[in-house]
Amino acid sequence: MQLNRRRFLLGAAVAATAAASGYRVRAQPGGIGPMARIEPVTDALHGQAVTDPYRWMENAADPDWLPWLRANDAQARAALEALPNYRAMNERLHELGSGFTRVSLPYEFGDRLLYLSQAPQSGWPVLKERTGATERVLFDPGTVAATPGDVSIEFWVASPDGRYMIFGLGSGGTEEAVIHILDLQSGALLDERIPRCLAPAPYWLEDGSGFFYTQLGVGVRGSLDYRADLRARFHRLGEDPSQDRVVMAQGMFDAVQVDRHDTPVIKVFAGSRWALCETGTLVTKGLWCAPLADVLAGRPDWKMLFEPGRGAPEHYLDGDHLWIWGSVSETESMVSTLDITTPPYVETVMATLNGGLISQSAFADEGLYLSVDGGTTAQLFFIPREGDGRELPLPFEAAINDVAYGADRRSVFLHMSTWLEPDSVWRYRPSKGYRQIELAPGPAVDTSAYRVQNGSVVARDGAEVPVTLISRRGLARNGQAPCCVVAYGAYGQSLTASFDPMSIALLEQGGIKVIAHVRGGGELGREWWMAGLGPTKANTWRDLIDVCQDLVNDGWTSSSRLAISGGSAGGIAVGRAMTERPDLFGLVASSGGVLNPLRFEFEANGLANVPEFGSIATQDGFNGLLAMDTLHSISDGVRYPAVLLTHGDNDPRVSTWHSAKAAARLRAAGAPGSGPVLFRVNFGRGHLIDSIDDDIDSKVGLYAWLLSLD
């Protein structure tokens, strides 16, 4: 399994959320906002007519598209900046963010640590090297950025011998990368440049002489076929990348199924004579193996390990044994090994785990380390090659956000976090236990005035929805507190304990931050995920509604002071909560939100989401998508709360027209007295938050507006 070293302290797994205002405010920002032209397009789907009034927005070349985006962004920013406490809030957020340096988990080679470090004032991280007490910047990606001031690291991976480092450098938030290769001894970049590459990171040969990588075809960014015909290639250091040989593509081998929009990945592992081929989108579809020497020679005889219909679990190749792990039932996960020398492959069960979902992993010298989410915190387990697995109690109750092996695979690094303590990096060695590794100066933040309360709310169908509430100690429950409820609820992803320094600006003003752990997430295991998947997706937004209603009933806040916020797939939760209970909320916010999932299959990343949301190809899939579609649930003449939608115009995961259509429809449909609809467009940006400034920009409008509510 490839190391995940992209995670930064304070980094975001999904897009952070902005916010909006309700209609009960002292200062209503802006006017009604730019209106969009209406050109209805009606589709007949499974005997039902579905009309989209803004289909034209899916055409980025339409002459009205860019001017309309710019007009919306100008209005939204002017309106937010005119709020009476916007300037003070902006200053306070910069104060809170000024002490937070973001760092990654390190690579460890002997006494040398290599890690990414991003200062608060920087838009991108630099590669640092620490040897003993000596630290230096080894590489600054900004020095090779095609556009000054605009660079992102989409992936980075060191060669096993510690000689080279691959950087996938992107710009504009597109998540498309150009591979650069850094000589870690000299600090110089090699001459090779490989464009149009995508994550996952390349896989190095054990001797560091070359690597396998995945490259885009000729599809145009933003189109349905942008990710079509991806190819896995092999690059030998010192050779011309334009001559790199294709080693896997659609139709290349009869034994390997690669569909038109699949991502083929060739994986190799230290100490193993085999190569693996994995194909799939967001959900792995298949896994094959062949001798590495045959793959390099161009004559592999691929053998199927997991058929596409079954889907391949997470895995690591240890010599001739394939370790696999993942859920095997609603409540149980399993770790097994397969001897892949000769079919039929014999599976040996190494361990079973009950309850939470496996989230992070690293294979070290003697076996497998796994973190398992349970609620908002995690447990760490070790499964050895020989003997019984065991839990390794953490030094404190925390979430584990990343795991990676250390030097010679004899230790592991952990990135851990809590709700009210800055994130930290720890090393675990079997012989010495845990030790904190200080890769960045710790910020001076006093959180003793605040407390975390974990509880649950009984949803309408009897399910108990976990809730985390963070507030000032002794806060009166008089219905007056401004309250922001965050929800996601998709892909089995848990909203685990994570310190957000920006939320202090809300808490110190008497506000409340609430995390609603709605169905569709993984907080209560696979069963909780499945209960918010596809046809059961309504549980996600109804859980959110029920949590919010309970907060009002219990006197924590009032509807006029209540905001809900959800980004990316969380847009479904907040969008449909709004259209089902528009009276319950003062503010509704979505950043990069999925608001028109009925059209998801017609954008570049949409097909990858079919396993999670469904497909219009089937009656059940269509019914589910229509039910979760915010655009098509907006009704004329309804009094909606105010809404702030935010989207990057280069978003490769959720097209900008999701937010654009919703903004236009809400303005056209809302009854008199509806709140304003603001639509911010982050030009030259993508789906993810890349810096402290991005984080501040996403929250300053939310907090300034929320604290203005009556």
| Nearest CA among 415, 408, 337 for reference residue 371 | 415
Per-domain residue ranges for the chain? 41-96+466-495+511-706, 102-349
| Cα–Cα distance for residue pair 189/164, rounded to 1 Å | 9
- pLDDT in the model for residue 1: 26
Evaluate the omega torsion of the peptide bond into residue 443 and state whether it is cis, within 30 degrees of 0: no
3-state helix, strand, coil in the chain (%, to 5): 20, 35, 45
- pLDDT in the model for residue 310: 78
Give the burial class of 687: count Cβ atoms within 10 A of its Cβ; 0-12 exposed, 13-18 middle, 19 or more buried: buried
Q: DSSP letters of 465-533? A: EEEEEEEETT---SS---EEEE----TT--------GGGHHHHTTT-EEEEE--BTBSTT-HHHHHTTS
| Number of residues in the chain | 710
| Cα–Cα distance for residue pair 367/319, rounded to 1 Å | 12
SS (H, E, C) 10-68: CCCCCCCCCCCCCCCECCCCCCCCCCCCCCCEEEEECCEEEEECCHHHHCCCCCCHHHH
Which helix (H) or strand (E) is 356 found in, with range? none
- pLDDT in the model for residue 371: 97
CATH of domain 102-349: 2.130.10.120
Which backbone phi and psi does 137 adopt, to 5 degrees?
A: -80, 120
How far is it between the farthest Cα atoms of the chain?
73
Q: State the CATH architecture for 41-96+466-495+511-706.
A: 3-Layer(aba) Sandwich (3.40)
- Cβ–Cβ < 8 Å for 172, 150: yes
- Cβ–Cβ < 8 Å for 116, 127: yes
Record the tokens describing residue 123, joined without a space. 């838009």
Record the tokens describing residue 176, joined without a space. 């498309």
The pLDDT averaged over each successive group of 10 residues in the chain (710 residues) is 36 30 39 90 97 97 97 96 95 92 95 94 94 94 83 96 96 95 96 96 97 95 90 98 97 94 95 95 81 98 90 92 93 94 92 92 95 94 95 97 94 96 94 93 84 98 98 96 98 95 96 98 95 97 98 98 97 98 97 97 90 95 98 97 95 96 96 94 92 91 91
Single-letter residue type at 262: D
- pLDDT in the model for residue 686: 93
**Which residues lie closer than 8 Å to 363 by C-beta, 6 or more apart?**
1, 316, 318, 323, 369, 405, 409
- Cβ–Cβ < 8 Å for 687, 172: no
- pLDDT in the model for residue 33: 86
